């Protein structure tokens, strides 16, 4: 049933929608963009253009390719127009179940069974989002990006009510345009956010208990373990902490279990006081940069690391 994807409808042109538009258009895919809020539509092409200018500065995109990339983006004045000739639909509207349910129902009614419909949702279950879909709900999947999708390519494909064929089709498509997809079962937070939340929980606990400062937990990642993580993840790390992964797992399993079962403490609340501590601790880390300057610096560093990785594959 899968059809070749040459044109994608992006529905919702906020933070995530504009990133997806940039990913698709940059990789030769035609994009029909639609947002129900006029200011989002009026600004989205400028935001994509700014993102492409950033890529030119970083040597990722050639300036002469920008006009062709921008020409692939069509602003549509209705949902009907956006999905009419689309081969895939990427939904990027707010994390609100009723909004997504209604949109999925409408998109499914406007398209045939060969068109997969992906949700950028961060935590909702696909069975709930597709609850009002009667026209082939098995083509409705979770297609969860990392923010921003055009900078961080990792993404998650899920949906326990979706067919394996559709999930594999979107996996192959995403891979073909330079994204880094994984497929997982539906679980709260999916994979990336579960791991991020595990670290955040421990960071908040240590700050709350006065064990160390906000700066210290930040540096444990940005100067410490995070220096390895772009290259060796949380499990492969053990190969290099020992003579081999087998030896590492057996050597450290008691140490790990001691932490998991006895040393790890619950975090019962994120109090106003704890939030104030975090806010006061993060501001100096930004070193006088504004929010936008901090984002630009982060995007530059991530893009340069990504290029270095792509030029030095394992």
Residues within the interface to ligand NAD (CB under 6 A): 11-17, 34-37, 40, 92-95, 99, 103, 120-122, 144-145, 147
Backbone angles phi, psi at 59, to 5 degrees: 75, 20
Shortest approach of ligand NAD to residue 67 CB, angstroms? 25
Q: Are 147 and 19 in contact (CB under 8 A)?
A: yes
Task: Record the tokens describing residue 178, joined without a space.
Answer: 């330079």
Backbone angles phi, psi at 281, to 5 degrees: -80, -30
Using the minimum distance from each CB to ligand NAD, give the nearer residue, 147 or 222. 147
Shortest approach of ligand NAD to residue 100 CB, angstroms? 7
Using the minimum distance from each CB to ligand NAD, give the nearer residue, 147 or 176. 147
Q: Are 53 and 29 in contact (CB under 8 A)?
A: no
Task: Record the tokens describing residue 110, joined without a space.
Answer: 């406007």
Shortest approach of ligand NAD to residue 38 CB, angstroms? 9
Q: Where are the alpha helices (DSSP H) in 209-290?
A: 214-219, 226-228, 237-240, 245-258, 272-285
Taking the CA atoms of residue 16, residue 114, residue 129 and residue 121 in that order, the dihedral angle to the nearest 10 degrees is -20
Using the minimum distance from each CB to ligand NAD, give the nearer residue, 129 or 203. 129
Shortest approach of ligand NAD to residue 111 CB, angstroms? 15
E-strand ranges in the chain read 7-11, 30-34, 73-75, 88-91, 116-119, 140-145, 154-158, 180-183
Shortest approach of ligand NAD to residue 158 CB, angstroms? 13
Using the minimum distance from each CB to ligand NAD, give the nearer residue, 147 or 168. 147
Shortest approach of ligand NAD to residue 101 CB, angstroms? 11
Shortest approach of ligand NAD to residue 51 CB, angstroms? 14
Task: Record the tokens describing residue 131, joined without a space.
Answer: 């609850």
Using the minimum distance from each CB to ligand NAD, give the nearer residue, 37 or 297. 37
Q: Which residue's CB atom is positioned nearest to ligand NAD?
A: 14
Q: Determine what percent of the chain falls in helix, strand and coil, rounding each to the nearest 5.
A: 55, 10, 35
Using the minimum distance from each CB to ligand NAD, give the nearer residue, 9 or 69. 9
The angle, 0 to 180 degrees and rounded to 10, between the axes of the packed helices 38-57 and 15-26 is 50
Using the minimum distance from each CB to ligand NAD, give the nearer residue, 17 or 248. 17
Tell how strand 154-158 and strand 140-145 pair up: antiparallel
């Amino acid at each position: 049933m899968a059809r070749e994807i040459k044109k994608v409808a992006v529905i919702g042109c906020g933070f995530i929608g504009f990133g997806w538009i940039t990913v698709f258009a940059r990789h030769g895919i035609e994009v029909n963009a639609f947002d129900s809020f006029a200011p989002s539509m009026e600004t989205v092409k400028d935001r994509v253009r700014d993102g492409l200018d950033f890529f030119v500065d970083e040597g990722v995109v050639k300036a002469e390719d920008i006009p062709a990339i921008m020409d692939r983006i069509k602003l549509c004045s209705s949902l009907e127009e956006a999905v009419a000739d689309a081969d895939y639909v990427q939904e990027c509207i707010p994390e609100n179940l009723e909004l997504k349910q209604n949109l999925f129902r409408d998109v499914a009614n406007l398209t045939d069974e060969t068109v997969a419909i992906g949700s950028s949702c961060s935590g909702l279950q696909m069975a709930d989002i597709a609850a009002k879909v009667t026209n082939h709900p098995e083509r409705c999947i979770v297609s969860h990006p990392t923010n921003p999708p055009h900078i961080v390519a990792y993404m998650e494909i899920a949906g326990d009510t979706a067919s394996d064929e559709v999930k594999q089709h979107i996996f192959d498509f995403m891979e073909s345009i330079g994204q880094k997809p994984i497929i997982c079962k539906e679980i709260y937070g999916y994979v990336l956010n579960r791991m991020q939340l595990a670290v955040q929980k421990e960071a908040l606990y240590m700050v709350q208990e006065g064990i160390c400062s906000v700066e210290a937990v930040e540096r444990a990642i940005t100067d410490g373990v995070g220096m390895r993580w772009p290259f060796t993840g949380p499990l492969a790390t053990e190969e290099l902490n020992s003579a081999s992964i087998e030896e590492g797992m057996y050597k450290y399993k008691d140490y790990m279990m001691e932490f998991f079962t006895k040393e790890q403490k619950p975090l019962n609340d994120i109090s106003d006081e704890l939030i104030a501590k975090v806010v006061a601790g993060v501001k100096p880390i930004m070193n006088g940069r504004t929010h936008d300057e901090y984002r630009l610096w982060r995007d530059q560093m991530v893009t340069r690391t990504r290029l270095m990785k792509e030029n030095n594959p394992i």
